[in-house]
Amino acid sequence: MQLRPVEGGTPSERTIIFVMHDSEALYVGARLLRANPGDISRTVTRRDGGGNAERLTVTLDPQRDRRTGVGYVISAAGVRSDHRHTQDARDSGRESQYDPVWSADAEVTGDGWTAEMRIPFSQLRFPPSARPQWGLQIERWMPDRNEDVQWVLIPLNETGFISRFATLEGLDGVRADRPIELVPYIAGDATRRANATAANPLVHPYDGRVGVDAKFAVGSSLTLDATINPDFGQVEADPAEVNLSAFETFFDERRPFFTEGSELLRGTGAQYFYSRRIGAPPHVSVSGDFIDMPRSSTILGAAKLTGRLPSRLSVGGLLAVTAAEHGRAHFVDSAVTQRLAVEPRTAYALLRLQQELGSQASTLGAAITAVRRDFSGEDRLSSYLPREAYYAGTDWRLRFQQGKYAISGFAGVSHVAGDTGSISRVQKSSVRFFQRPDATHLTFDPARQSLTGYTASLRADKDAGRHVLWGAQVTVESPEYEVNDFGRLASGDDIEYNADLQFRETQPGAVFRNWQLGFETRGGWNYAGMLLSNVWTQNTSLTFRNFWNANVRTTFELPTIADHLTRGGPYMANAGERRHEARLSSPSGARTGWRIGGSYARDELQAVRTSVGGMVTFRPQPRWSLSLEPNYQKGAESRQYVTQVAGGSNTFGTRYVFAWIDRTTISTRMRLNYAFSAALTLEGYAEPFLASGVYSQFGELAAARRLDLRAYGSDGTTLAVDADGNRNITDGRDAFSLGNPDFHVRSFRSNVVMRWEWNPGSTLFLVWQQNRRTSESLGDPVRYYQLFRTARVAGDNFVSLKVSYWLPVRL
Same domain, 326 and 464: yes
b/e burial code for range 284-294 (CB count within 10 A of at least 16 → b) = bebebebbbbe
Residue 474: inside a domain: yes
**Beta partners for 709?**
701
The CATH number of residue 51's host domain is 2.60.40.1190
- Flag the least confident range among 93-97, 118-122, 607-611: 93-97
Phi, psi values for residue 601, rounded to 5°: -140, 145
How far is Cα 282 from Cα 342, in angstroms, rounded to an integer?
6
Residue 724: inside a domain: no
Residue 558: inside a domain: no
Using H for helix, E for strand and C for coil, what is the string for 201-245?
CCCCCEEEEEEEEEEEEECCCEEEEEEECCCCCCCCCCCCCCCCC
b/e burial code for range 443-478 (CB count within 10 A of at least 16 → b) = ebeeebbebebebbbebbbbbbeeeebbbebbbbbb
CB atoms within 10 A of CB 168: 19
Domain end marker among 439, 466, 492 = 492
pLDDT value of residue 489: 94
pLDDT value of residue 449: 96
pLDDT value of residue 233: 62
pLDDT value of residue 579: 97
Same domain, 127 and 271: no
Residue 302: inside a domain: yes
Give the residue numbers spanning the domain of 37: 2-168
Using H for helix, E for strand and C for coil, what is the string for 158-200?
CCCCHHHCEEECCCCCCCCCCCEEEEEEEEEEEEECCCCCCCC
Bigger pLDDT: 604 vs 308: 604
Domain end marker among 138, 168, 198 = 168
**Residue 250, pLDDT above cutoff 90:** no
Residue 633: inside a domain: no
pLDDT value of residue 245: 83
**Residue 661, pLDDT above cutoff 90:** yes
Domain end marker among 115, 140, 168 = 168
pLDDT value of residue 556: 98
**Residue 178, pLDDT above cutoff 90:** no
How far is Cα 365 from Cα 269, in angstroms, rounded to an integer?
9
User: pLDDT tens across 711-770, in order?
Assistant: 999 988 999 999 888 999 999 889 999 999 999 999 999 999 999 999 888 999 999 999
**Residue 50, pLDDT above cutoff 80:** no
Residue 352: inside a domain: yes
Same domain, 442 and 304: yes
Same domain, 363 and 479: yes
Residue 747: Cβ-neighbour burial (10 angstroms; 0-12, 13-18, 19+): buried
Element (DSSP H or E) covering residue 620: strand 608-621
Same domain, 296 and 443: yes
pLDDT value of residue 431: 94
Chain centroid to CA 277:
13
- Do 286 and 340 touch, CB atoms closer than 8 A? yes
pTM, full prediction: 0.89
**Residue 424, pLDDT above cutoff 70:** yes
CB atoms within 10 A of CB 160: 21
Same domain, 148 and 278: no
Residue 547: inside a domain: no
With pLDDT > 90 as the criterion, what percentage of the chain qualifies? 61
Q: What is the CA radius of gyration of the chain?
A: 29
Same domain, 133 and 10: yes
Total domains, the chain: 2
Q: What is the average pLDDT across 445-468?
A: 94
pLDDT value of residue 234: 61
Residue 466: inside a domain: yes
Q: What is the average pLDDT across 62-78?
A: 88
Same domain, 153 and 12: yes
Phi, psi values for residue 261, rounded to 5°: 80, 10
